[in-house]
Amino acid sequence: MTSKTPISIFWFRRDLRLQDNTALYHALKQGHPVLPIFIFDKDIVEVLPEDDPRVNFIYDTLADIDKELKSLGSSLLILKGKVDEVWQSLCRDYTISDVFFNRDYEPYARQRDAGIEKQLTGAGIMVHSFKDQVVFEPHEVLKADGNPYTVFTPYKRKWLQLYDLVTIYDAPDGSSFLQITNEIPTKNALGIKVSEIKVMPYDLKVVTDYAKYRDYPSINGTSRLGPYLRFGLVSVRTLMSNIGSVSETFTSELVWREFFMQILYHFPHVVKENFRPKYNAIEWVNDEKMFELWKSGKTGYPIVDAGMRELNQTGYMHNRVRMLTAGFLCKHLLTDWRWGEAYFAEKLMDYDLSANNGNWQWAAGTGCDAAPYFRVFNPSTQAKKFDAQLEYINKWIPELNSLEYPQPIVVHEHARKRALETYKIGLAKY
């Protein structure tokens, strides 16, 4: 096989699997040998720490894919650079007939992909993109008047009405891949340092009792699927086919994922601004010392501190505790939700822009379908309700009952009153 023989390229992105991969399936059916590639985008990876655990996870997953491809007589081509420059190089090195990839709905990805598509079609290359990371794309679940939903419950109702068994695409055989041996670069060659923080295996056995146990952080009651869905190691179609009828509560979480994706798609201003502009006049305190205490898990509120320490040490935080830590930062400390969102973006293994943004605005009361601003959780009450035996708290705060553990940095009732007054004043200015 020479570089002048026409080939197709399949571009891995948020779909790091060979099984049930829409664009890959179609690429392998169209006739030309398929070269699978992955690009470490300099515009993304170079603003991350060299030992970012998520980049390590991506690399390790790609190494597994390469092994699988080698068993089929092919291999994965891994590249690093500015994406447009990488494609220029690929167009010089190969005679490319078609390029296949699965669509991404984030603002940066949409802008990048539009530029690459223009670049490739200008070079006479056919570009084919497909729906893969969602059951329904942002334009597929709309109100009767054609506008997007901004409230979850009617969106979910429509989503479930439209849902039917979806196509599961066959795993590929080796016959249609380009028969070529590429050696993947080392982590060192790509500028990746090994991280001590690892992605945990996911567990679907919890789905059966998900509604019963998901709110208790000391119980292994959540699936840890987040990173696998974020980077596409698991197909949402396969997931829904396997567990969609098992737990309505778990299915709701998958629908929330797509709800926030379509909010980001239709209302891209939410990346930097409040979804509801009437909250723009809130005067956040933004005390940097308080923010540092929150980040390091030293607020004197054990459930909040346990959550932040879990995040810092593992890249995970239990779902209910995420809500409590976010609400505490926004309401008790009157810190702009964007500060907390940015910190979670740095740390979370399952960081996803749409969900992170949507959930932080929910906690702050500034987003679509958000918790009302006057809902201020009492962290102590929440701890008694969901960690009564202190199993979760003691795991992350071994010094809890010693003089080393700090006193609360704010008094709940005072902080609550201050938050309500601040929000009222801000809303009155709108």
Domain with CATH 3.40.50.620 in the chain: 7-131
Domain with CATH 1.25.40.80 in the chain: 134-169+203-266
Query: For the chain, how big is the Rg over CA atoms in Å?
Result: 23
Q: What does the pLDDT read at residue 3?
A: 59
Residue % of the chain over a pLDDT of 70: 99
**Each residue's pLDDT tens digit, 9-57:** 999 999 999 999 999 999 999 889 999 999 999 999 999 999 999 999 9
**Each residue's pLDDT tens digit, 337-349:** 999 999 999 999 9
Identify which has the larger pLDDT, 91 or 165. 91
Burial of 430 (0-12, 13-18, 19+ CB in 10 A): exposed
Least confident range of 111-120, 162-171, 276-285: 162-171
CA 144 to mean position of chain CA atoms: 29
Domain with CATH 1.10.579.10 in the chain: 271-428
Q: What does the pLDDT read at residue 421?
A: 97
Domain 134-169+203-266 matching CATH 1.25.40.80: the answer reads yes
Q: What does the pLDDT read at residue 389?
A: 97
**The architecture CATH gives domain 271-428:** Orthogonal Bundle (1.10)
**Each residue's pLDDT tens digit, 228-252:** 999 999 999 999 998 877 899 999 9
Structure token digits, residue 220:
């292994």
Please state, in angstroms and rounded to a whole number, the distance separating the CA atoms of residues 53 and 198.
6
pLDDT at 1 over 50: no
Q: What does the pLDDT read at residue 2?
A: 46
Superfamily of domain 7-131: HUPs (3.40.50.620)
